[in-house]
């Protein structure tokens, strides 16, 4: 069976921490933020951890996890 290759498009969008957590930025954060309140703007700066069911589907896509 051939070696699985890592999907580079997915790898660019996610960061894998030392404890194998998948951290990502939620979509829709880069523009149209002038109308948002300050609390929403600050909340959008943070990255979030991927949940269990979504993490399992991405685990299949990444060969190095």
Look at residue 37 in the predicted model and tell me its pLDDT. 92
* CATH class name, domain 8-61: few secondary structures
- The pTM assigned to this predicted structure is 0.59
Q: What does the alpha-carbon distance between residue 60 and residue 33 come to, in Å, rounded to a whole number? A: 34
What integer pLDDT is reported at residue 30 of this predicted model?
80
The predicted-structure confidence for 6-58, as pLDDT tens digits, reads as follows 778 877 888 888 888 888 887 778 888 889 899 988 888 888 888 777 777 77
* Tokens read off for 25: 């930025």
Report helix, strand or coil for 52.
helix
């Amino acid at each position: 069976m051939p070696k699985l290759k890592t999907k580079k498009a997915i790898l660019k969008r996610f960061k894998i921490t030392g404890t194998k957590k998948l951290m990502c930025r939620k979509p829709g954060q880069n523009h149209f933020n002038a109308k948002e309140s300050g609390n929403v703007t600050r909340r959008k700066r943070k990255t979030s951890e991927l949940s269990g069911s979504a993490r399992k589907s991405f685990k299949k896509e990444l060969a190095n996890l």
